């Protein structure tokens, strides 16, 4: 599986791409929000010749990530092989050339901190000279460096014989691939379609970078939904009275509040 990830998510050395050789919300919030997307995808399929299309919902979190699916009318968080409902959003590279994702990456982070990348969602879609990026660069143990011709933020491994640079989208792609694998193992079928939640404050560049992360691992990202909007949809607020709603997101990496103006089922953050 990891070899497939590495083939899809290249790293760069200098200016050339090369393959890298392997290795919070409630279930309602990250699953009911993509129910309509699943219905739309299935509406184009023949009811007599094709099975329903599985659409997963992914919360690509700063600290932890989760994946869910709608079963009938019930949202369900999918567990990994160890029974965990969330996966640390951590990716590590080892001297031997292996890629570790989630808990295995977290467990070895103390002894390999310079090559263990976490909280990279904060960097996605940002330039290297961005004020927030420069602030984070002083606080994390791994190297944040310029990436590509556009001066984006990149993440560099420190192995002398194979220093590689990854974009935050590529690191996010490893986590999304893990979410996809968890879903496929749980559902017993291939999964191609997904809805991913993002913070309301994400700009167009950050949203596109998140979508790119999914596409890198073979996902058709049907929608990128604001996290507060997903929360409101989960609790059916759009089907009730119009009004102004405050949504608190007590995340592992950030604590946000968003104000939603709901009118005729339309959400404006």
Is position 59 annotated as part of the catalytic site?
yes
Chain centre distance of CA 267: 22
pLDDT for 267 beyond 60: yes
The CATH number of domain 2-226, selected from 3.30.420.40, 3.40.1390.10, 3.40.50.300, 1.10.760.10: 3.30.420.40
Catalytic-role residue among 24, 80, 211, 249 = 249
Find the mean pLDDT for residues 41-64: 70
Is position 227 annotated as part of the catalytic site?
yes
pLDDT in tens, 164-221: 999 999 999 999 999 999 999 999 999 999 999 998 889 999 999 999 999 999 999 9
User: Measured between alpha carbons, how far is residue 194 from residues 15, 45, 146, 155, 217 in Å?
Assistant: 32, 17, 30, 26, 12
Is position 249 annotated as part of the catalytic site?
yes
Catalytic-role residue among 24, 59, 80, 211 = 59
d(CA 2, CA 6): 6
Catalytic-role residue among 24, 121, 177, 211 = 121
pLDDT in tens, 124-146: 999 999 999 999 999 999 999 99
DSSP state of 221: E
Catalytic-role residue among 152, 180, 211, 227 = 227
Map residue 190 onto helix, strand or coil: coil
Residue 239 has what pLDDT? 66
Order of strands, sheet of 165-166, starting from the edge strand that comes earlier in the sequence:
16-18, 11-13, 165-166, 152-156, 143-147
Confidence category of residue 248, pLDDT binned at 50, 70, 90: confident
Confidence category of residue 228, pLDDT binned at 50, 70, 90: confident
Confidence category of residue 37, pLDDT binned at 50, 70, 90: low
Q: Where are the domains of the chain?
A: 2-226, 232-268
pTM, entire model: 0.79
């Amino acid at each position: 599986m990891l070899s497939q990830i590495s083939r899809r998510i290249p790293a760069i050395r200098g200016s050339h791409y090369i393959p890298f050789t392997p290795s919070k919300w409630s279930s309602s919030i990250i699953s009911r929000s993509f129910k309509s997307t699943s219905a739309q995808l299935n509406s184009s399929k023949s009811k007599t010749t094709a099975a329903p299309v599985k659409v997963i919902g992914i919360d690509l979190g700063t600290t932890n990530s989760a994946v869910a699916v709608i079963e009938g009318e019930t949202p369900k968080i999918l567990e990994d092989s160890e029974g965990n409902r969330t996966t640390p959003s951590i990716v590590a590279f080892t001297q031997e050339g292996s890629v570790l994702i989630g808990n295995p990456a977290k467990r070895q982070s103390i002894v390999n901190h310079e090559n263990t990348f976490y909280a990279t969602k904060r960097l996605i879609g940002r330039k290297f000279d961005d004020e927030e990026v420069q602030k984070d660069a002083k606080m994390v143990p791994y190297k944040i460096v310029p990436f590509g011709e556009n001066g984006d933020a990149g993440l560099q491994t420190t192995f002398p014989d194979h220093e590689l640079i990854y974009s935050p989208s590529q690191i996010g792609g490893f986590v999304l691939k893990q979410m996809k694998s968890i879903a496929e193992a749980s559902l017993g079928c291939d999964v191609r379609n997904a809805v991913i939640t993002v913070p309301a404050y994400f700009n167009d560049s950050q949203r596109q970078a998140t979508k790119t992360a999914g596409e890198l691992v073979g996902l058709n990202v049907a929608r990128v939904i604001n996290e507060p909007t997903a929360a409101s949809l989960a609790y059916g607020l759009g089907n009730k009275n119009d009004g102004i709603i405050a949504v608190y997101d007590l995340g592992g990496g950030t604590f946000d509040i968003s104000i939603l103006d709901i009118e005729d089922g339309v959400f404006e953050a």
